A and B are shown apart, each in its own frame.
Chain A
Amino acid sequence: MQMPEPDAAILARRPQLLAGLRRLVDEAGIIADPIALRAYESDGLTAYRQPPMIAVLPKTTAEVAAVLRFCQQEGVKVVPRGAGTSLSGGALPLADGIILGLGRFNRILEIDYDNRCAVVQPGVPNLAISHAVAERGFYYAPDPSSQIACSIGGNIAENSGGVHCLKYGLTTNNVLGLEVVLMNGEILRIGGKHLDAHGYDLMGILTGSEGLLGVVTEVTVRLLRKPETARALLAGFPSAEAGGQCVADVIAAGIIPAGMEMMDKPATRAVEEFVHAGYPLDAEALLIVELDGPDVEVDHLLERVRGIAEANGATSLRVSASEQERLLLWAGRKAAFPAVGRISPDYYCMDGTIPRSKLPLVLQRMSEMSLRYGLGVANVFHAGDGNLHPLIMYDANKPGELQAAEAFGADILCLCVEVGGVLTGEHGVGVEKRDLMPTMFSEIDLKQQIQVKCAFDPAQLLNPGKVFPVLHRCAELGAMHIHRGQLPHPELPRF
Chain B
Amino acid sequence: MSIFSPTTDEDLAACLRDAAASGQKLRIIGQASKTGFGQAVMADQVVSLGSFAGIRDYEPAELVLTAGAGTAMAVIEQALAEKQQQLAFEPGDWAPIWGGAESTGTIGGVLACNMSGPRRFQAGAARDHFLGFTAVNGRGEIYKGGGKVVKNVTGYDLPKLLAGSFGTLSAMTEVTVKVLPRAEKQRTILLFGEAADAANRSMISAIGSTYDIGGACYLPAAQAQRSQVDFVAKAGAAVTALRVEGSGPSVEHRCAALRKMFGGDSEELHSMRSVAFWREIRDVAPVRAPLGRVLWRVSLPPVQGAAFVATLPAAPAAEWFMDWGGGLVWVSLAPDMAVEHLAALRSAATTLGGHATLMRASDQTRRDLGVIAPAALEPLMRRIKESFDPAGVLNPGRMMAGW
**Residues of A with Cβ closer than 8 Å to B?**
112-116, 137-138, 158-159, 161, 165-166, 169-170, 172-173, 182, 188-190, 192-205, 207-209, 225-228, 247-249, 251-256, 293-294, 296-297, 300-301, 353-357, 382, 385-387, 420-429, 433, 437, 440-442, 444-449, 451-456, 467, 478, 480
Task: Please report the C-alpha to C-alpha distance between residue A442 and residue B134 in the assembled complex, in whole angstroms.
Answer: 12
Contact of B63 among A251, A300, A423 (CB under 8 A): A251
CB distance from A68 to the nearest CB of B (A): 15
Contact A190 B377 (CB under 8 A): yes
Pick 26 A–B contacts, CB within 8 A, sort by A. Answer: A138-B208, A159-B153, A166-B150, A193-B302, A194-B354, A196-B116, A198-B373, A200-B384, A204-B127, A225-B212, A254-B183, A256-B180, A300-B247, A353-B152, A357-B59, A382-B151, A385-B149, A386-B62, A421-B147, A422-B154, A445-B143, A445-B144, A448-B388, A455-B380, A455-B386, A478-B390
CB distance from A14 to the nearest CB of B (A): 32
Task: Please report the C-alpha to C-alpha distance between residue A11 and residue B400 in the assembled complex, in whole angstroms.
Answer: 44
Q: How large is the interface on B (under 10, 10 to 19, 20 to 34, 35 or more residues)?
A: 35 or more
- Say if the beta carbon of B253 comes within 8 Å of chain A: yes
Known A-B contacts A208-B153, A449-B158, A455-B383; A225 and B147 likewise in contact (beta carbons under 8 Å): no
Give the tally of cross-chain contacts (CB within 8 A): 260
Known A-B contacts A161-B151, A448-B143; A293 and B380 likewise in contact (beta carbons under 8 Å): no
Contact of A448 among B120, B137, B211, B376 (CB under 8 A): B137
CB distance from B14 to the nearest CB of A (A): 14
Task: Please report the C-alpha to C-alpha distance between residue A357 and residue B57 in the assembled complex, in whole angstroms.
Answer: 14
The chain B residue with its CB closest to the CB of A137 is B210
Contact B60 A252 (CB under 8 A): yes
Cβ–Cβ < 8 Å partners of B150 in chain A: 166, 353, 385-386
Given A170-B153, A204-B161, A209-B156, 4 other A-B contacts at CB below 8 A?
Answer: A182-B380, A188-B377, A294-B253, A424-B153
Known A-B contacts A173-B124, A300-B250, A441-B144; A194 and B151 likewise in contact (beta carbons under 8 Å): no
- Say if the beta carbon of B351 comes within 8 Å of chain A: no
Cβ–Cβ < 8 Å partners of A449 in chain B: 145, 155-156, 158
- Say if the beta carbon of B209 comes within 8 Å of chain A: yes
Task: Please report the C-alpha to C-alpha distance between residue A195 and residue B302 in the assembled complex, in whole angstroms.
Answer: 9
- Say if the beta carbon of B121 comes within 8 Å of chain A: yes
Contact B156 A440 (CB under 8 A): no
Contact A297 B250 (CB under 8 A): yes
CB distance from B177 to the nearest CB of A (A): 14
The chain A residue with its CB closest to the CB of B251 is A297
Contact A159 B157 (CB under 8 A): yes
Task: Please report the C-alpha to C-alpha distance between residue A198 and residue B355 in the assembled complex, in whole angstroms.
Answer: 7
Cβ–Cβ < 8 Å partners of A448 in chain B: 137, 141, 143, 145, 158, 387-388
1/0 per position for B309-349, CB-CB distance to A under 8 A? 00000000000000010011000000000000000000000
